Amino acid sequence: MKHQLIKEHKINSLAEVIEGAAKRYGNRSAYSIVLPNGSNATLNYTEVNEHSNNLAVYLKEALKLKSHDVVAIMCPNTLSYPVAAFGVLKAGLILTNVNPLYTDSELIHQLKDSHAKVLIIIDLFGDKVERVVKQTHVEHVIHVSLADFMPFIQQRLLRFALKHLKKQIPPLNFESVAIDKALHRGASIRRKYSIDTRSYRSDVSPEDTAIYQYTGGTTGVSKGAELTHQSLDYGTAMINTVLRTELDSEIAETILLVLPMYHAYAFTVGTLLSPQNGFHSVLCPSPRPISNLKPAFDKYDISFLPGINTLYQALLAEEWFVRNPPKHLKISTGGGSATLVSTAEKWLELTGIKIVEAYGMTEALPITIGPVDGNHQIGSIGYPVGGIEVRLVDDEGNDVADGSAGEVIVRGPQVMKGYLNRPKATAETIVDGWLHTGDIAVKQNDGFYKIVDRKKEMIIVSGFNVYPSEIEALINQIDGITECACIGVPDSKTGEAIKIVLAKDKPTVDEKTVIEFSRKHLTGYKIPKYVEFMDELPKSPVGKILKKELR
């Protein structure tokens, strides 16, 4: 069983996505930002196209970037994000998305590994710039704000409140330029020399890398998946093939983007898929607390909600949401981590809409998607889209029979080119053209697939990848720790949670020591939730820690 792929045209560059949207949908609302206090602002497709043209000119002419140079964007869901992303692509450059919550060491690793020349960063985290940039290849910094593109008075009030009342904007002690000034400079140069930004992409082909999308972790673990214009275009078309059976480009469907656009899931849906259909993407910079989303649900008729299990669980626990669920909702999708059956059933009971599971990974998004016509099977990950080949194989690479468990391997135009700077890791992951996912699945007789296990030790916390080796390497730095193991354990809120099992030779080392050390060096979702001490960890005859026994 497969969804039949609908691919309408071939593109050379993803920049054509926003150019086409401006021509077809012009004044239709493209992106809106909604803050917890109800403040909001909107850009239409023409405006996004114009602003991104001006940024492309600024990057090329003012900053003198060359084709295929790298620009890092480190900001939450703001109106500046799509402008910046499309500006980078229009300039014929490579984009790398950065999690704004990264610690200094995590940020340094990605900037150095990607060889980024420019950092576009939200001013809320501007204090990181001075500490980090000097240790990287970054030559220029552009700062953005939650207030960007808001009406003048509203913008001034918000900036004042964030900086002086809430004290949320730290001093930016590094030479940088605000994005509005960069856009003004780019517009002036563009007018003066009558620049057509399409000239910047004359040497860009579909097979060229568009994005270095990092998979997680830091030193020795985090890898940049090289996603080409072609792979992302096809991946978007595959998702679009399924969703368009229920969503109508003629009536400007509204998507609520709670998931961060720097994540591959939301980037594909919000940055690429929405413009292709003229959808209106409502951006929420922070979903915590979950009540932050109430103004968005109150103001807009949300018809499409891409989410993960933790989002749906949180909404179901909110009285305001349960009392008044969205009346125009047509599709809810799950991804990043498995949606619990109990969550899916409660969501269906409340909204009348099934959570349709999509399965993929940074290296290949998507792989399978459930049908959105109401026939999705709760607990499954759906089935492949035409153009994707999926096999389930045993440890020797032999295909397993339907109903038997095997590793998911995939081949198709949406698969990454490889890992940046890591030929060995690429060769281990892509074998004879087949991407080995490390996930174990079963194909049922009805054609639906179900994930039953994970071959790799990767842990998924609220949709984010956590690599045990990274956590173990860090914890082992604590004086008094003799050995440790990082495992994932089931968690009702985050899908999985991180547990550290330790042996020590100093009584002063306790749970508080481990947690506080982790907080200094790790992003929030990577911090262990559970810490357990043992006299000695179980090992194999050759001395390998047996995580299976710990689980």
Q: 37: buried, middle or exposed (CB in 10 Å: 19+, 13-18, 0-12)?
A: exposed
In angstroms, rounded to a whole number, what is the distance separating the alpha carbons of residues 168 and 360? 35
Q: Where are the beta strands (DSSP E) in 152-216?
A: 177-178, 209-214
Query: Is it true that 15-351 and 459-550 share their CATH fold?
Result: no
Work out the angle at residue 314's Cα, subtended by the Cα atoms of residues 455 and 284, and round it to the nearest 5 degrees: 95
In angstroms, rounded to a whole number, what is the distance separating the alpha carbons of residues 484 and 65? 45
Digits of tens for pLDDT over the chain (551 positions)? 778 777 766 899 999 999 999 999 999 999 999 999 999 999 999 999 999 999 999 999 999 999 999 999 999 999 999 999 999 999 999 999 999 988 899 899 999 999 999 999 999 999 999 999 999 999 999 999 999 999 999 999 999 999 989 899 998 888 999 999 999 999 999 999 999 999 999 999 999 999 999 986 433 468 999 999 999 999 999 999 899 888 887 778 999 999 999 999 899 999 999 999 999 999 999 998 999 999 999 999 999 999 988 899 889 999 999 999 999 999 999 987 678 788 899 999 999 999 999 999 999 989 999 999 888 898 899 999 888 999 999 989 999 999 998 999 999 999 999 999 999 999 999 999 999 999 989 999 999 999 887 777 778 898 887 878 788 888 988 999 888 889 999 998 888 999 999 988 888 899 999 999 999 999 999 999 999 999 888 875 445 678 878 87
In angstroms, rounded to a whole number, what is the distance separating the alpha carbons of residues 56 and 53? 5
In angstroms, rounded to a whole number, what is the distance separating the alpha carbons of residues 259 and 257? 5
Residue 518, classed as helix, strand or coil, is helix
* 41 neighbors 79 (Cβ within 8 angstroms): yes
In angstroms, rounded to a whole number, what is the distance separating the alpha carbons of residues 279 and 31? 9
In angstroms, rounded to a whole number, what is the distance separating the alpha carbons of residues 71 and 118? 5
Beta strands 405-411 and 434-443 are antiparallel
* 185 neighbors 192 (Cβ within 8 angstroms): no
In angstroms, rounded to a whole number, what is the distance separating the alpha carbons of residues 251 and 244? 12
CA torsion, ordered 97, 103, 105, 108, to nearest 10 deg: 30
Q: What is the pTM of this model?
A: 0.88
Which sequence spans correspond to the domains of the chain?
15-351, 459-550
DSSP state of 322: H
Phi, psi of 398 (to 5 degrees): -90, 140
In angstroms, rounded to a whole number, what is the distance separating the alpha carbons of residues 521 and 544? 26
Give residue 315's pLDDT.
95
In terms of DSSP H, where are the helices of 467-522? 468-475, 511-521
CATH architecture of the domain with residue range 15-351: 3-Layer(aba) Sandwich (3.40)
Give residue 541's pLDDT.
47
Give residue 546's pLDDT.
80
Return the CATH class of domain 459-550.
alpha beta
Give residue 341's pLDDT.
84
Q: Which residues contact 364 (CB under 8 A, 6 or more apart)?
A: 235, 410, 412, 414, 415, 416, 435, 437
Q: Which of 485, 497, 503 is CA-nearest to residue 549?
A: 485
Phi, psi of 400 (to 5 degrees): -100, 160
Q: Which residues contact 68 (CB under 8 A, 6 or more apart)?
A: 92, 93, 94, 208, 209
Show the tokens assigned to 188.
């002036």
In angstroms, rounded to a whole number, what is the distance separating the alpha carbons of residues 307 and 424? 34
Show the tokens assigned to 343.
């969550």
* Cis check: omega of the bond before 289, within 30 degrees of 0: yes
Show the tokens assigned to 97.
């998305």
For 21, 39, 58, 64, 177, the CA distances from 183, given in Å and listed in that order, are 20, 23, 7, 15, 10
Q: Which residues contact 38 (CB under 8 A, 6 or more apart)?
A: 295, 299
Other beta carbons less than 10 A from residue 249's beta carbon:
14
The continuous run of DSSP H or E covering 141 comes out as: strand 140-144
In angstroms, rounded to a whole number, what is the distance separating the alpha carbons of residues 33 and 78? 6
SS (H, E, C) 249-300: CCCCCEEEECCCCCCHHHHHHHHHHHHHHCCEEEECCCCCCHHHHHHHHHHC
Work out the angle at residue 56's Cα, subtended by the Cα atoms of residues 48 and 45, and round it to the nearest 5 degrees: 10
Residue 74, classed as helix, strand or coil, is strand
Q: Which of 20, 18, 56, 26 is CA-nearest to residue 44?
A: 26
| Gyration radius from the chain CA atoms | 23
